[in-house]
Homo-oligomer: A and B are copies of this chain.
Amino acid sequence: MTFKRYIPVESISELTINRLSIYLRCLQQLEKENITTISSQELAERFHLNSAQIRKDLAYFGEFGIRGVGYNAAQLREHLVNILGLSEERRVVVVGAGNLGTALSHFSGFNSGGFKIVAVCDADPQKIGKRIPGGLTVEDAALLPTLVKERRIHIGVITVPAAAAQQVFDDLVNAGIQAILNFAPAQLKGHPEVKLKNVDLKINLELLSFFLTHAARLASIT
């Protein structure tokens, strides 16, 4: 596909891109329900989104809707798939075969919609050679450069303990990986040519804590 305008990718925030993922989920849901056309207002109401935000987010990438009619759901879904780069297979290596790494390696969300975990590594000789659910076998992390090259891996996922995370990050970068998802609770020193996304699972518990606190306060007021 071609975009109607040049995209200065650095100027698009992660939140905007996350919203594109959410719109994609919504459109997939609409397709299941055989809904073919939808306006930004209807989309917003249906899924508790903001219609002005939807239009603004999509406007970065072109003009997709027809004024007064709305979006063709299938076409917009296809556009989002292309914008997010999900039409090509994204092969993933997980480094760290502990509980989290093992869970993610056979997690359906990490093995669908363009993504595929093709290797799981660990430095621990006790773990190397172990079969994990889903069919993969834990391989030696020392083989990373070879694995990345031979299996054409694009994305690395770090699930080692915090103390080992920087070394694993550097190893992934040296092996040629350009996009890294880090689950270790460590502040990593990044690399200018590598996109690093830190996943902060605790932030979700803090969100719930906020609601528990303020719901209780509101309840005690009323």
Contacts and interface: CB of A to CB of B under 8 A. Distances in A.
A7 B108 contact: no
Interface residues of A, number: 65
Contacts of A20: 206, 210
Contact of A210 (B85, B92, B178, B212): B85
**Chain copies in the assembly?**
2
Contacts of A207: 14, 17-18, 21, 197
Contacts of A209: 84-86, 90, 114-115, 155, 179
Interface in A177-222: 178-181, 185, 187, 195, 197, 199-215, 217-218, 221
A206 B110 CA distance: 10
29 contacts: A9-B214, A14-B207, A21-B203, A83-B213, A84-B206, A84-B209, A84-B213, A85-B210, A85-B212, A85-B213, A85-B214, A99-B99, A99-B100, A99-B102, A100-B104, A100-B107, A107-B201, A108-B162, A109-B200, A110-B202, A113-B202, A115-B202, A155-B205, A155-B212, A195-B208, A195-B212, A195-B215, A197-B204, A197-B207
Nearest to A211: B195
A127 interface: no
Interface of A: 6-7, 9, 14-15, 17-18, 20-22, 24-25, 29, 83-86, 90, 92, 98-100, 102-104, 106-110, 113-115, 133, 154-155, 162, 178-181, 185, 187, 195, 197, 199-215, 217-218, 221
A109 B210 contact: no
Nearest to A83: B210
Contact of A205 (B178, B181, B204): B181
Nearest to A18: B203
A123 to B, nearest CB: 18
A208 B185 contact: no
A133 B3 CA distance: 50
